[in-house]
């Protein structure tokens, strides 16, 4: 299967590390002019340089802006008026007992995990519609359908993304623009390793810590391991291509079987 995104412009929010960074690299490797995003100009510039060095053929730039705010989103719109592929990847997570989550924290998670993608999609979708082609993806999680006891606030925002994605897809019906959610499972990244260490302690060897986390905290996983970021990126790159033209309004699972449902 050959995926060719030459001539397409892609924007990936929250892409200076973790899954977002790997997605950006995958889109660029498929030929898309890819723009990464983070809040810090230093981190954006550093990652752009690293990705260009890793793949000299890649066309990669970056925009430093906090897209969880209207002002940050406006910065992106001014620098990048139109895109063909939008990956709403920005998200935050941290464990906290649900009875201790205050209003401010709930609102911060909503602004970062939900409203960042809503703003970006609302701005870029009309241009995609008018051009007759576009791809939008919201990065969700198995936590959207299996709410984690230790991160209810995170899970709820990911549930919201499933509805947001379906709604935008309906608005683009018959236009050649697809909108989907990607249900990612627990994925090996710097942030997840820190998260697991925080739950299980620093003293366990990493292999045992991963196995304990999957057994105790994600027992429904069918692969019994963390997912590699490249495995998530493979789905995202496919959905960004012409090959996925009949896939829209969906919630595509790359969750290692964590969600114990036939459908999301």
Nearest to 12 by CA among 207, 232, 260, 249: 232
The Cβ of residue 217 has, within 10 Å, a number of other Cβ atoms equal to 17
The Cα 24–Cα 11 span in angstroms is 8
93, 109, 124, 154: the active-site residue: 154
- Residue 112 token pair: 């970062």
The Cα 32–Cα 5 span in angstroms is 5
- Residue 154 annotated to the active site: yes
Kind and range of the H or E run holding 27: helix 18-29
Question: Are the beta carbons of 51 and 60 closer than 8 angstroms?
Answer: yes
Question: Are the beta carbons of 88 and 120 closer than 8 angstroms?
Answer: yes
Kind and range of the H or E run holding 41: helix 41-54
* Whole-number CA gyration radius for the chain: 18
Residue identified by tokens 């050959």 is 2
The Cα 25–Cα 29 span in angstroms is 6
Contacts of 12 (CB under 8 A, 6+ apart): 20, 23, 24, 27, 34, 35, 36, 37, 87, 89
- Residue 204 token pair: 């366990």
Task: Point out the residues that are catalytic.
Answer: 154
């Amino acid at each position: 299967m050959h995926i060719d995104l030459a001539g397409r412009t892609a924007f990936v929010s929250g892409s200076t590390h973790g899954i977002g960074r790997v997605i950006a690299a995958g889109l660029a490797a498929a030929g898309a002019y890819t723009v990464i995003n983070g809040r810090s100009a230093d981190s954006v510039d550093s990652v752009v340089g690293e990705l260009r060095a890793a793949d000299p053929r890649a066309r990669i730039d970056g925009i430093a802006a906090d897209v969880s705010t209207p002002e940050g989103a406006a910065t992106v719109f001014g620098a990048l008026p139109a895109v063909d592929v939008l990956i709403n990847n920005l998200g935050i997570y941290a464990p906290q007992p649900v009875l201790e989550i205050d209003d401010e924290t709930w609102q911060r998670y909503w602004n970062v995990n939900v409203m960042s993608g809503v703003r970006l999609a609302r701005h870029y979708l009309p241009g995609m519609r008018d051009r007759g082609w576009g791809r939008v993806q919201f990065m969700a999680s198995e936590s959207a359908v299996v709410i984690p006891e230790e991160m209810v606030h995170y899970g709820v925002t990911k549930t919201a993304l499933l509805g947001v994605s379906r709604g935008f897809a309906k608005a683009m019906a018959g236009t050649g623009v697809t909108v989907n959610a990607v249900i990612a499972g627990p994925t090996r990244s710097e942030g997840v390793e820190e998260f697991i260490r925080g739950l299980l302690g620093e003293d366990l060897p990493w292999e045992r810590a991963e196995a304990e986390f999957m057994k105790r905290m994600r027992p429904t996983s069918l692969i019994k391991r963390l997912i590699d970021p490249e495995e998530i990126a493979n789905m995202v790159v496919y959905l960004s291509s012409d090959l996925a033209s009949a896939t829209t309004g969906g919630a595509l699972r790359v969750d290692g079987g964590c969600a114990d449902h036939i459908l999301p």
